[in-house]
Amino acid sequence: MITLAYPWLAWLILLPFLVWKIFPAAAKMYGDALRIPFINDLAEIKKQTTGKMQIFGGKYKVSVLKLIIASLLWLAVVAALCRPQWVGEPHQVQNQGRDIMLVVDISTSMNEADFVLQGKRYDRLTAVKYVVNQFVDKRVEDRIGLVLFGTRAYLQVPLTYDRVALKEVLWSTDAGMAGNSTSIGDAVGVALKNMPLQDKVQNKVIVLLTDGENNDGALSMPQAINLAKKEKVKVYTIGVGSDEQSFWGGFLTIPTNSGLDEVGLQQLAAETKGTYFRAKDLNSLVNVYDAIDRLEPQTQEGRFVQETKDLFYIPASAALLLFIFLIGLARKEW
């Protein structure tokens, strides 16, 4: 289908006529017509003007061929300015989603079995694997990466659409593999370092889950916050773990200090325009990831694109050829 990118420029076709109507004719250089005393000279002039016609009330003598060529030349110029295009059929393409980096604490404290599912107790890391697995399955349009941390932080899966591979890596991890302490600042730094911030993807998200405080590593919490703010990456933080400690299979529970740095996690989320969540049991952990899924919704429909080819060079080339031809006619008369 042929369309015009700037159809409103078509009014320029009338520009020469408007100029002729609006602006007065140029004054004659030699005043009144010359008095020619010789009849033979008149005959010679008539002979030389054969094939020409008077136009616009006899004010201008213009060759018919020149007039036609000049008109076609102007039409070609206006057509080129309107920018004709060939537009193909619309095709739907997949929307580009978010870049989401999952940052999961696998320090030894994640072995604490304070999550219950169907009457059976599970350690924190197993519960996290179960919930994250469901979260990853929902993010069809997004690239997802995985950073695991303890004493040190490691990139385990770079940003990818391969959700199966990511889940396999997550399920193969055990608490304590990265050390006993917790380096939250380093984990955020590793996640930011492995997010290609120059990409066109506007929504870049880190989902950080931990049950402790930043007690190791090179980066402090304020430094991690400043880095995330500088790179404009939103950070959702999740504090996991019960406030009670169980004994003898859950028959006895006593309140305990979880060691979770809620203030630091709240500040990290607030400063980066994210949200802090507290997950004390499996149900609340499921609700946390559901809430994040709602806060970072996926686009439901793909965009439509159409192939477009510019054709302005065709009338532009025609205008150039007509201009050269018109110059040749003028030089011939000279």
- The confidence band for 105, taking pLDDT boundaries of 50, 70 and 90, is very high
Reply yes or no on whether the pLDDT at 326 is more than 70: yes
Q: Among candidates 151, 143, 237, which has minimal Cα distance to 194?
A: 143
Reply yes or no on whether the pLDDT at 46 is more than 60: no
Q: Which residue has the tokens 């996926």?
A: 298
- CB 186, CB 151: distance < 8 Å: no
Reply yes or no on whether the pLDDT at 329 is more than 90: no
What whole-number distance in Å separates Cα of residue 142 and Cα of residue 140?
Answer: 6
Q: What is the pLDDT of residues 130-148, one digit of tens each?
A: 889 988 988 887 889 999 9
Assign 231 to helix, strand or coil: coil
Tokens of 59: 């004010």
Look up residue 178 and give its amino acid. A
Helical pair 313-333 and 64-81, crossing angle rounded to 10 deg = 160
pLDDT for position 202: 61
Q: Among candidates 191, 116, 194, 94, which has minimal Cα distance to 149?
A: 191
What is the pLDDT averaged over residues 240-251? 60
pLDDT for position 60: 44
Listed range (7-16, 66-75, 86-95, 297-306) with the worst mean pLDDT: 297-306
Reply yes or no on whether the pLDDT at 154 is more than 90: yes
Cα of first residue to Cα of last residue in the chain, in angstroms, is 45
Query: Percent of the chain scored above 90 by pLDDT?
Result: 29
> E-strand spans in 170-273?
204-210, 234-240, 244-247, 252-255
Average pLDDT, the chain: 79
Reply yes or no on whether the pLDDT at 54 is more than 50: no
What whole-number distance in Å separates Cα of residue 237 and Cα of residue 208?
Answer: 5
What is the pLDDT averaged over residues 42-71? 57
- The confidence band for 53, taking pLDDT boundaries of 50, 70 and 90, is very low
What phi, psi does 256 have (nearest 5°)? -150, 160
- Name all domains of the chain by residue range, CATH numbers in brackets: 2-90+307-333 (no CATH), 99-295 (3.40.50.410)
Strands 204-210 and 153-160: unpaired
pLDDT for position 67: 81
pLDDT for position 147: 96
Look up residue 217 and give its amino acid. G
What phi, psi does 294 have (nearest 5°)? -75, -35
294 vs 257, higher pLDDT: 294
334 vs 332, higher pLDDT: 332
Q: What is the pLDDT of residues 267-289, one digit of tens each?
A: 999 999 999 999 887 888 888 88
Q: What is the pLDDT of residues 106-129, one digit of tens each?
A: 999 898 887 877 778 888 899 899
What whole-number distance in Å separates Cα of residue 135 and Cα of residue 207?
Answer: 11
pLDDT for position 61: 47
Q: C-alpha angle 267/271/275, rounded to 5°?
A: 70
> E-strand spans in 8-133?
52-55, 60-63, 84-93, 99-105, 115-117, 120-122
pLDDT for position 55: 43
Q: Among candidates 91, 189, 96, 111, which has minimal Cα distance to 147?
A: 189
